[in-house]
Amino acid sequence: MNLLIVDDDVPTTEVLRDCLDRELIGIEEIYTAHHAAAARRVFEEKPVDVVLCDIEMPGESGLRFLEWVREKESEKKKIGKTEFIFLTCYERFEYAREAVEHEASNYLLKPIDMGKITEALLKAAGQLHRRQKLEEYRRMGEYWQYGQLRIARNFWYRAVMGYVGEDSGHIREEMGHLGLDLAPEGRYTMVYLRIDRGRMFEKDESKELCRFIIENILSQSLERREVMENLMTYEDETDFYAAAFVNMDPEEAERRCGSVWIFLKTYYGENFTCYISELLDLGDLHEAYREMRQYDKNNLSGRGTVLRFKNRQRDVRQAGSLLDQSRFLSFMENGERRKAMEYVESVCRRIESRGVRSIHSLRSLQQEVTQGIYVYLHQRNINASLLFGDAAFQEMQERAAYSVYGLLKYSTCCVSRAMDYSDEVQKKGTIVGRMITYLNQHFTEEITRNQVAEQVYLTPEYVGKIFKKETGLSIQDYVARMRIQKAADLLSSPDCRVTDAALAVGFQNIPYFSTVFKKYMGVTPKEYKEKRA
């Protein structure tokens, strides 16, 4: 691919010329021009595939230059148009509209962002390559070759998924029937790649273009050619997957994956993983692929890296307990929350030092921390399910095992909330005060001890016990007294009937209301009203 850079700002032109990664993008020649007239001369004398052009330049704008290029292409009946990427300091609608009308590839704002420019050039190169290949197939009658490519990739997909069995002899026989080349020793190194689907397809470009770019990067990096047959790709709801099968030792495959890593790291950050297998017989492909995928689901420390993978990795789950519960509980019982958290952190670091930082091991530790917290709360008659029942905590709990940071954040929240509430419960007056406030607000409703317990995150039995100890009344007695006192106040009004008073304070059965009223007031509601008349 040949690139023409057009910008009246000489330093900008030189920075772009010197800093672009030619090998990664696939650039053969870079031409420069500082105004549209010079750019026209270059265009007429040199083969130009992509133009990176400023819009506002003295004499003639980049948009007029694009218009001229399109006219020349039309006159020559050129198949496939030159890709244009515009750079400008001004985000103006008319610029964007004209660029779209003349089929520019992209429109980027200054100051220069090399990452965005490289990404735009890679996309332009992909579009260019696709058009060139389609034209080549059309001109040379090589659609058959494209069909063979699909046959080959379909075979590798079926082989790695286990659809052709695990017998090497049978697999070789099928390759022969399909006319596929076999490595001299019949052994391959597999390069497995997974990219977060949401990150990969978050831009406006088509899925087909994204897939092509990944296939092209793998082909050029691993086999130094634009298209490789021994490659398969597919996607599910969350991820995009690719696997390449190369006739080279793992060390060489790892070395060649250097440029693959640079590309993936630049555009996908930590949202990918890449593994390189040992040399594999054809019959081992399916099992190795299955183990890689399983390991990748649990692996946290290798995100955003290229890793060597040895077959049948040891299970990351550790036998026995990770957390000494008695030690953890003793810190909490003594009010030493900082020591409790330092202890959890030390266990996390111990897991990391073993090189097995996985979802399995972190989830096991999370479960043990949770178990210790629940024991601590149960000993204090605190209902853990209610204390930790809010949506924000539930979301934190779901994500806790995905990183050491997430687990420490979850553990800190658990320890702090549990110990803070335990301290509050010790101040029984505060807890009973909250109960009384709730009862005063809801005494006209049907209230149970369980409902009151939910408000203060305690067990129903403990709620009844501390309420009576502080007030001298059971919860039911307190509510009944509140209702009757309110009813008596209402009956003091000449316009209030007995039925109205009963219904207003939550009694639906009038005879029962009279019974309860007499129990606390010494007279029936009717007698009470007559005395007040």
How far apart CA 440 and CA 482 sit, in angstroms, is 8
Structure confidence at residue 171 (pLDDT)? 85
Query: Please, are residues 270 and 332 in contact by the beta-carbon 8 Å criterion?
Result: no
Structure confidence at residue 329 (pLDDT)? 92
How far apart CA 313 and CA 293 sit, in angstroms, is 12
Strand partners, 187: 281
Residue 531, CA distances (Å) to 486, 491, 494, 498, 511 in order: 17, 11, 11, 14, 20
Query: What is the CATH class of 144-308?
Result: alpha beta
Write out pLDDT tens, residues 389-429. Answer: 888 888 888 878 777 888 889 999 999 999 998 888 877 67
Residue 323, CA distances (Å) to 318, 328, 351, 366, 367 in order: 12, 8, 11, 10, 10
Structure confidence at residue 246 (pLDDT)? 92
pTM flag (> 0.75): no
Per-run averaged pLDDT (10 residues), the chain, 533 residues: 92 90 88 93 91 89 89 74 84 69 77 86 83 65 62 88 82 82 80 85 68 87 85 86 92 88 80 88 87 75 73 42 89 92 88 60 85 88 84 84 82 93 80 88 89 86 87 90 92 90 91 92 91 77
Residue 189 phi, psi dihedral angles, 5° rounding: -100, 130
How far apart CA 87 and CA 223 sit, in angstroms, is 34
Tally of residues, the chain: 533
Which among 517, 520, 512 is positioned nearest to 529, based on CA atoms?
517
CA 472, 476, 482, 486 torsion-angle sign:
negative
Secondary structure tally for the chain: helices H, strands E: 25, 10
Structure confidence at residue 314 (pLDDT)? 41
Query: Please, are residues 83 and 51 in contact by the beta-carbon 8 Å criterion?
Result: yes
Q: Is 423 helix (H, G, I), strand (E, B) or coil?
A: helix
Residue that is written with structure tokens 């005494």 in the block: 443
Q: Is 459 helix (H, G, I), strand (E, B) or coil?
A: coil
Q: Is 196 helix (H, G, I), strand (E, B) or coil?
A: strand
Structure confidence at residue 109 (pLDDT)? 83
Q: What is the DSSP string of 13-47?
A: HHHHHHHS-HHHHT--EEEEESSHHHHHHHHHHS-
Residue 210 identity (one-letter amino acid): C
Residue 295 identity (one-letter amino acid): Y
CA 374, 358, 232, 290 torsion-angle sign:
negative
For residue 58, count other CB atoms closer than 10 A to its CB: 9
Which among 465, 441, 443, 444 is positioned nearest to 453, based on CA atoms?
465
Q: Which long-range contacts (CB under 8 A, 24 or more apart) does 417-420 make?
A: 417/387, 417/388, 418/332, 418/373, 418/376, 418/377, 418/382, 418/384, 418/387, 419/332, 419/335, 419/337
428-532 folds as Arc Repressor Mutant, subunit A (1.10.10)
Q: CA angle at residue 345 from 338 to 342, to 5 degrees?
A: 20
Half-sphere exposure of 34 (CA within 13 A, CB side): 7
For residue 529, count other CB atoms closer than 10 A to its CB: 20
Q: First-to-last CA distance in the chain?
A: 104
2-140 to CATH, choices 1.25.40.10, 3.30.365.10, 3.30.43.10, 3.40.50.2300? 3.40.50.2300
Q: Which long-range contacts (CB under 8 A, 24 or more apart) does 210-214 make?
A: 210/240, 211/240, 212/126, 212/129, 212/130, 213/122, 213/123, 213/126, 214/240, 214/242
Strand order in the sheet with 272-281: 231-235, 239-246, 187-196, 272-281, 306-308
- Residues with Cβ within 8 Å of residue 498, at least 6 apart in sequence: 491, 510, 513, 514, 525, 526, 529
How far apart CA 105 and CA 126 sit, in angstroms, is 11
How far apart CA 290 and CA 72 sit, in angstroms, is 54
Query: Please, are residues 352 and 368 in contact by the beta-carbon 8 Å criterion?
Result: no
Question: For 425, which DSSP code?
Answer: H
Structure confidence at residue 519 (pLDDT)? 92
H or E element that contains 502? helix 498-504
Structure confidence at residue 37 (pLDDT)? 92
How far apart CA 366 and CA 184 sit, in angstroms, is 50
97's tokens = 């509209």
Query: Please, are residues 17 and 34 in contact by the beta-carbon 8 Å criterion?
Result: no
Strand partners, 54: 87
How far apart CA 171 and CA 526 sit, in angstroms, is 97
